[in-house]
Amino acid sequence: MNELLPSAERIAARLKARGETLAVGESSTGGLVCAALLAVPGASAWFLGGAVVYTVKAREALAGITAADMAGMRGATEPYAALLAERLRARHGATWGLAETGATGPAGNRYGDPPGHSCLAVAGPRALAVTLRTGSADRQANMRAFAARALALLEEALE
Amino acid sequence: MNELLPSAERIAARLKARGETLAVGESSTGGLVCAALLAVPGASAWFLGGAVVYTVKAREALAGITAADMAGMRGATEPYAALLAERLRARHGATWGLAETGATGPAGNRYGDPPGHSCLAVAGPRALAVTLRTGSADRQANMRAFAARALALLEEALE
């Protein structure tokens, strides 16, 4: 988590200076993005809430994404990351939404994506999406790499 | 996160062997409990979802806890931790719910609890609740200590 802290601190400073807020949706990073952000003192001024969405049930219960919303869409894609970011943003009334969805490993996911594949998106005043491929099957290393990329993407949006 | 992994692995083995599932609600641990559990390969077999509940809005949006539910209750208490655990459990249709609510620091919370105060609860076939006081105002150390206690409490429930 410590390696993520400098990025989290820059995000915190920018959000605080602007009076903006954030909600987060995570899949394969599993809570690591939220934990890095919330390690910054005073985070309650700008962090509203986060969802760790690991199942279809959680997708609906926590983010309000229904089967109809998913028509023509699957997990671990940029459009799904963008939808998750937007739904969490709207649900919390936040300025920004940040979301991640991917495959950490050691195996690939049920869609055929290899471990190390992650899609990340920011929703809000600027919308960004990116796909990352680490080439690694190391689960914990991928969680950290995906989380670092998620924070970097939000930093880009906040520039 | 690594120091939490042995406990997460024991929980994973027990849940998997029993065919049971888990949902998590976190406040001041900020995602660290979920991240530790999801660092275990194959966690998708038993981990359903998690909520990082940092605001009243998130409490309602992610856990369905209303102002009426909170009548006579406040955050950072064992009854609230128990409610959060039960709501996340029910919302995901999980066997077990695990929840944490507290004050990491460097300052205390708005209720007057000192930093290092955390309440943790398990809901499900067994219900447990406990209050922890670390005596530290180190935010990151408290996040780790609270997360470790949360995992230990779930281990107790699974014994």
The ipTM of this complex is 0.96
CATH 3.90.950.20 fits B2-158, yes or no: yes
CB-CB contact of B92 with B65 (8 Å): no
Contact A39 B140 (CB under 8 A): yes
The verdict on B58 touching A (C-beta cutoff 8 Å) is: yes
Q: Are strands A96-103 and A117-123 parallel, antiparallel or unpaired?
A: antiparallel
pLDDT value of position A2:
84
CATH pick for A2-13+20-158 out of 3.40.50.150, 3.30.360.10, 3.90.950.20, 3.40.50.920: 3.90.950.20
pLDDT tops 90 at residue A138: yes
Closest CA of chain B from A72, distance in Å: 23
CA-atom Rg of chain B in angstroms: 14
Question: At residue A1, does pLDDT exceed 80?
Answer: no
Report the pLDDT value the prediction gives residue B2, as an integer from 0 to 100. 84
Q: Give the residue from chain B lying closest to A60, CA to CA.
A: B92
The dihedrals phi and psi of B52, each to the nearest 5 degrees, come to -100, 105
Q: Does A38 touch chain B (CB under 8 A)?
A: yes
The pairing of strands A47-53 and A22-26 is: parallel
Query: Of A104, A149, A125, whose CA–CA distance to A7 is shortest?
Result: A149
In whole numbers, what is the pLDDT of chain A averaged over residues? Answer: 97
d(CA A124, CA A87): 11
Helices (H), chain A: 5-18, 32-38, 56-63, 78-92, 139-158
Q: What is the pLDDT of residues A45-59, one digit of tens each?
A: 999 999 999 999 999
Provide mean pLDDT across the span A106-118. 95
Going by C-alpha positions, the residue among A44, A27, A53 that lies closest to residue B57 is: A44
Residue of B nearest to A115 (CA): B41
- Whether B54 and A33 lie within 8 Å, measured CB to CB: no
Give the residue from A52, A95, A104 with the most B CB atoms within 10 Å of its CB, the best one to mutate: A52
* pLDDT of amino acid B23: 98
Q: How many whole angstroms separate alpha carbon A53 and alpha carbon B41? A: 16
A145 close contact with B: CB closer than 8 A: no
Q: Please tell me what DSSP assigns to residue A123.
A: E
- Select from B4, B48, B53 the residue whose CB has the most chain A CBs within 10 Å, as the one to mutate to test that interface: B48
A49 at the B interface (CB within 8 A)?
Answer: yes
A1-5, A28-32, A147-151, range with the lowest pLDDT? A1-5
The count of other CB atoms within 10 Å of the CB of residue B120 is 28
Domains of chain B by residue range: 2-158
Q: Tens of pLDDT along A77-91?
A: 999 999 999 999 999
Q: Answer whether B54 sits within 8 Å of A41, measured CB to CB.
A: no
Per-run averaged pLDDT (10 residues), chain B, 159 residues: 93 98 98 98 96 94 96 96 98 98 95 97 98 97 98 98
pLDDT digits (tens, 9 = 90+) for B8-27: 999 999 999 999 999 999 99
- pLDDT in the model for residue B63: 96
pLDDT of residue A18: 97
Residues from chain B contacting residue A55 (CB–CB below 8 Å): 44, 48-49, 92
- Is A52's CB within 8 Å of B55's CB? no
